[in-house]
Amino acid sequence: MCGIVGYVGNRNCVATLLDGLKRLEYRGYDSAGIAVVEDSSLHCIKECGKVSVLEKKIGEEWPLWPEKACHIGIAHTRWATHGAPSCINSHPHIDSSGRFAIVHNGIVENYAALKRHLIDHGHTFNSETDSEVIANLISECYNGDIFAATAAALRQIVGTFGLAVISLEQPDTLIVARRGSPIVVGVGNSENLVASDIAAIVAYTKRVIFLNDDDIALITADRIDIRNIDNVPVAREIAKIDWSIDAAEKQGYEHFMLKEIFEQPEAVGNALRGRIDEQNITAILSGLSMTPREMTQINRILVAACGTSMHAGMVGDFFFEDLAGIPTSVEQAAEFRYRNPIIEPNTLIIPISQSGETADTLAAVREAANKGATVAAICNVVGSTIARESGRGVYLHAGPEIGVASTKAFTCQVSVLLLMAVKFARTRRLDRENAKAILDEVKQLPELIRAVLAMAENIRVVAEKYGSADNFFYIGRGYLYPVALEGALKLKEISYIHAEGYHAAELKHGPIALLEPKVPVMALANDIPGKDKILANIQECKARKSPVIATATVGDKEVESLADDVIWIPACSKYVAPIVTVVALQLFAYYVARMRGCEIDQPRNLAKSVTVE
């Protein structure tokens, strides 16, 4: 994986492809490349490093490209899976006859057997990648029809693919296909575009078609013909993108991550807008497509997610059990289908994914559907695969999240989970008075987040004090335990500090052996249930000479007297404390990473959307 862009039409495709690649840089990558058909020849340039390095090389090798009549091409940013990051392993890959060029996201699981077969039939290979097999396989299958050749090749592949193909045989035709890795087609006027992510093409068109698994599309400047892998025509709706390219720009912020941290009052407000029923004191979540009677029949909830989304699900676990009394568990999505989970008839599965394309979470959705479960997804990207295959759920409406380290998606996910829990709880045991108190505080979330953001300069000072640490502990209890995990994840993602999140009670069961003056501890000591126990844990840390930074409710003198430094959090209940507190931890991680000179928006080795298992 990581980013695919393709173009066919009347403009200079080199400039369009480079622009698309730049808009996909946030996904994380180690190399980039481009292939075009020009003057009846297939030209390919690729390079390790940033897109800017590729652009410079194009200028050196194709000095006249701005004037060239070059109207069809494909481009790629690669995040290494098979084969080390190198120029030769970069995409695009060209078959050994020099007629077909491909870019590919995904994994070809049976590539070794296919490669041996192709070598026996005279094909040669230059790279260590599994993707190069696809180019030679299409060449092997070609018999005058590029669509048929691609379909025949893909029928032999075991694994996943988001694929784009151009060829000298049909130089006005772009072929794209998907199975398990997203592909979107941008519908233009006398031009069409393809990409693995809307961000690459939204500057050119707001009309898009999301391909389903095993769809193959034949695309020219004036035609989009979509068929399945068995060559049967299929109809796919044209969707309209509801955000502008401005939403994917920095707009004066130093980094996308900082911009997205500061967007959270508006993002959470958008996630909540129109979803609070003042009359009935409940939540309005029409995407769930469940009547109150159907909701009362749900007697178990399973959340399937990875990374930051899994931490959001862990907060949701508290919401559903405390408010609605529904037994809830959070499953690591990568293990979900392999451990043969017990899914009873009245179980609700909630997959959570910012992108809606996370491979492990998508696999969990399919496993749950096969077992007859009710599935309701929480996603940010409209039209994403998880959203479409779940059939019901809730969109976040957080806007595009460009920074690899997720921020506003987490706060919106937790906000939506709280609304879901209130809605379920109102069909059970949550009375109007208590529901109103919770929803009234939910409505205050944007202002509570703004109060934290107003203290950004104080958080920066604390962060820079501890920015030289090599190890860090985060501890929390109850509703703030998942926030400790998320805070540690943010720090390690962007600052490369070894950070671990623990339930505070677990300190004395092993981790306390690592405490020393060089190991700071972030203790989440807000004035909510469990605070007294956290204070005891802070004492344990101080006894081992570890410096303690505490999050504390504004004005809490007790915490202030114990901690070396305090990050103040506005007073709020346990239900919204996770959302408000995590914003401070995001800022802390950001300022530590900035002080250390790290690449914040594109951390090393990370990709925004993990579309391989």
Number of structural domains found in the chain: 3
- Is residue 612 one of the residues assigned to a domain? no
Least confident of 88-92, 186-190, 215-219, 229-233: 88-92
Distance between CA atoms of residues 194 and 209, nearest Å: 9
pLDDT digits (tens, 9 = 90+) for 128-148: 888 899 999 999 999 999 999
User: 432 and 558: one domain?
Assistant: no
Q: What is the pLDDT of residue 532?
A: 92
- Is residue 613 one of the residues assigned to a domain? no
Q: What single letter denotes the amino acid at residue 282?
A: T
Cβ–Cβ under 8 Å, residues 333 and 363 = yes
- Is residue 608 one of the residues assigned to a domain? no
Q: What is the pLDDT of residue 79?
A: 66
Distance between CA atoms of residues 12 and 67, nearest Å: 8
Residue ending a domain, choose from 241, 266, 289:
241
Q: What is the pLDDT of residue 170?
A: 93
| Residue 612 scores a pLDDT above 50 | no
Distance between CA atoms of residues 130 and 135, nearest Å: 10
Could you say which of 115, 408, 423, 608 is catalytic?
Answer: 608
Domain range for 276: 252-443
pLDDT digits (tens, 9 = 90+) for 531-580: 999 999 999 999 889 999 999 999 999 999 999 999 999 999 999 999 99
Q: What is the pLDDT of residue 27?
A: 64
Strands 215-219 and 174-179: antiparallel
Cβ–Cβ under 8 Å, residues 529 and 574 = yes
Assigned token pair, 196: 């693995």
The CATH number assigned to the domain holding 99 equals 3.60.20.10
The CATH number assigned to the domain holding 311 equals 3.40.50.10490
User: 55 and 11: one domain?
Assistant: yes
CB count in 10 Å sphere of residue 430: 21
User: 260 and 235: one domain?
Assistant: no
- Is residue 493 one of the residues assigned to a domain? yes
Burial of 234 (0-12, 13-18, 19+ CB in 10 A): middle
User: Does 545 qualify as catalytic in the annotation?
Assistant: no
Please give the share of the chain, as a percent, with pLDDT higher than 90.
64
User: 262 and 232: one domain?
Assistant: no
Q: What distance, in Å, lies between the first and last C-alpha atoms of the chain?
A: 11
| Residue 613 scores a pLDDT above 60 | no
Could you say which of 2, 141, 541, 572 is catalytic?
Answer: 2
pLDDT digits (tens, 9 = 90+) for 350-389: 999 988 888 888 888 888 888 888 999 999 887 788 888 8
- Is residue 611 one of the residues assigned to a domain? no
* Cis preceding linkage at 517, omega within 30: no
| Residue 426 scores a pLDDT above 60 | yes
- What integer is the mean pLDDT of 405-409? 92
What SS3 state is found at 384?
Answer: coil
Q: What is the pLDDT of residue 257?
A: 92
Residue ending a domain, choose from 443, 476, 493:
443
User: Does 608 qualify as catalytic in the annotation?
Assistant: yes
- What rounded mean pLDDT belongs to the chain? 90
